[in-house]
Amino acid sequence: MKIGVLTLQGDFDEHITVLEKIGVNPVKVRLPEHIHELDGLIIPGGESTTIGKLAQEYGLIQPIRQFGQEKAIWGTCAGAILLSRDANRSQPLLELMDITVERNAFGRQSASFEIHLDIPALEEVDPKNRPYPAIFIRAPLIKSVEDNVEILARLPDGSIVAARQGRLLASAFHPELTDDDRFHRYFLKLAGSQSE
Ligand code: GLN
C-alpha cells in the first residue's frame, strides 16, 4: 500500500517514523506529481495557515481535493483543520469534510495535555479495547458535524475530537506522538478498503 505524508510543514517526520514501524515506506508529498498512485495521504499537525498557504503555492489544493473524492486522507490537528469545510476564519482549506472546527479551542492553561480516550472504532484493528493516549497541542475542536460524519471520539465533556466521513479521517490530537500505533493502523485499513 502506498501512503503519502504531506511534508510542507509540521510534524511529518513523526508520522513517517510510525508508518515505517508498521511496515509502510511512505512517500513524501510536496508537489502534485507525488500524489499519483497513492492509496492514502496524511496531513500532519503544525500550523494550518502555513500548511494551507504552502499547499496553495505548490499547487496542491486542487489535486488533494480531487484525491480526497476517492482516496483516504487523514488530518491530525492542523491537518484536521485543513480537511474541514469551515474554520470560522479566512484561511485556505481543503473543505473536504462536512465538519466545522474551532482553532486553538483550549485556553492557555490546558493548551497542551494528554488524556486517555475511549475510541471503540479502534477495535477494528485490535480487538482489545483499551484507552487510547491522546495528546493535544494547541488543538482544535470539531464543533459540528453533518449527518454523514461518524463521530469516533469525544472528550469527557462531550466535545468531538475525532471523526470519519467515508475514507476521510480527522483527529484533533496527535497519534504520531505516542507509541500506540492503533490509529495509524486504522487509517491503513481505511485506505485499503473498497470504495463505498
Ligand atoms: N494551533 C494549530 C492551528 O491552528 C494546530 C496545532 C497543531 O497542529 N498541533 O493550526
The CA distances from residue 159 to 10, 16, 82, 102, 190, in Å, are: 25, 29, 19, 11, 24
Express each pLDDT in 10-23 by its tens digit.
999 999 999 999 99
Express each pLDDT in 13-69 by its tens digit.
999 999 999 999 999 999 999 998 999 999 999 999 999 999 999 999 999 999 999
Q: How far apart are CA 62 and CA 183, in angstroms?
A: 27
- Could you tell me the distance, in angstroms and rounded to a whole number, from the CA of residue 140 to the centre of ligand 1? 7
Q: How far apart are CA 139 and CA 151, in angstroms?
A: 17
Supply the pLDDT for residue 196. Answer: 47
Supply the pLDDT for residue 110. Answer: 75
Express each pLDDT in 79-100 by its tens digit.
999 999 999 999 999 999 999 9
Beta partners for 171?
Answer: 76, 162
Supply the pLDDT for residue 27. Answer: 98
Supply the pLDDT for residue 185. Answer: 98
The residue to mutate among 48, 136, 141, having the most atoms of ligand 1 within 8 angstroms of its beta carbon, is 48
Q: Using 50, 70 and 90 to split pLDDT, how confident is the model at 194?
A: low
Q: Catalytic one among 14, 15, 102, 174?
A: 174
The HSE-up count of residue 23 (CA atoms within 13 Å, CB side) is 3
Which DSSP string corresponds to 173-184?
A: S-GGGSS--HHH
Q: What is the mean pLDDT of residues 130-138?
A: 97
Closest C-alpha among 49, 30, 53, 56 to residue 41 = 30
Residue with the nearest Cα to atom 1 of ligand 1?
138
Please count the residues of the chain: 196
Query: Who contacts 63 (Cβ-Cβ below 8 Å, separation ≥6)?
Result: 32, 35
- Could you tell me the distance, in angstroms and rounded to a whole number, from the CA of residue 76 to the centre of ligand 1? 9
Q: What share of the chain is helix, strand, coil (3-state, %, to 5)?
A: 30, 30, 40
Please tell me whether the overall predicted TM-score, pTM, comes out greater than 0.85 for this model. Answer: yes
Full set of structural domains in the chain with CATH = 3-192 (3.40.50.880)
Express each pLDDT in 169-193 by its tens digit.
999 999 999 999 999 999 999 999 8
Mean pLDDT for all residues in the chain: 96
Which DSSP string corresponds to 93-113?
A: ----EEEEEETT-S-STTSEE
Residue position matching grid coordinates 508498521: 22
